[in-house]
Amino acid sequence: MRVGELSKRSGVPVPTIKYYLREGLLPAGVLTSPNQAHYDDEHLRRLRLVRALVDVGGLSIASVREVLAAIDTRDQSLHKKLGAVQEAISQPGPVDLDPLAVEDVQAFFARQGERECVDVTESNVTHMLAAALSAARSVGHDHFRELLDPYLEGLKIIAQADLEYIARRGSADAVIEGMVVGTLIGDAVLKAVRRLAHAQVSREVLGDSAALPKVNG
């Protein structure tokens, strides 16, 4: 297809495509005349992935280049590639880490039988978790750590559905694009559905009563 068709099928404007080509985020097309290049479905998939990283993930062009290099490495498993992309799209907030929140994360890892998590800032994801628990502690919610185990239990059901959703896609680029969109837009969907689940459970447990609910323990 020509660049106009590539733009139409991807929804990405032609000037943006040309910019990605200049920045090396998209491989050059095959020249069919001095002024005309031909693109195929592989270009389309790569373009969709770049757009997801830039528009949905908010990544800089330099970060996108790094992510693409990780994806194009031949001798890495898909699991590892997904992990590298997940790191790139997970930025911890600007919260000061509370040493007790760091201990909460380490204890959580130990309970899960995961490899020791000595330095939580080594990974963006564990850093993100320690930052969120620090924020909870800063407003007096020291016991938020008790929610980690039930959260993981519920989220494993969700992660299973997420993985099935992206695994249906035909190519590694499409799987990774699905992971980026599924993770980031999925966060927003999850936030909304969580509020609906709160309303359902609150109605079931509390009903019309004005009193505080009874709980065990």
DSSP 33-84: ETTEEE--HHHHHHHHHHHIIIIIT---HHHHHHHHHHHH-TTS-HHHHHHH
Least Å distance, CB 83 to a second copy, is: 6
* Of 31 and 205, CB closest to a second copy: 205
CA-CA-CA-CA dihedral for 185, 59, 124, 114, to nearest 10? 60
* Of 37 and 163, CB closest to a second copy: 163
Which strand (E) or helix (H) includes residue 32? strand 30-33
The rounded distance, in Å, linking the Cα atoms of 143 and 155 is 20
Structure tokens at 190: 């999850």
* Of 21 and 85, CB closest to a second copy: 85
Least Å distance, CB 78 to a second copy, is: 5
Least Å distance, CB 50 to a second copy, is: 12
Torsion angles phi and psi, residue 160, rounded to 5: -60, -45
* Of 23 and 149, CB closest to a second copy: 149
Least Å distance, CB 11 to a second copy, is: 7
* Of 8 and 30, CB closest to a second copy: 8
Query: What does the chain come to in residues?
Result: 217
Least Å distance, CB 79 to a second copy, is: 4
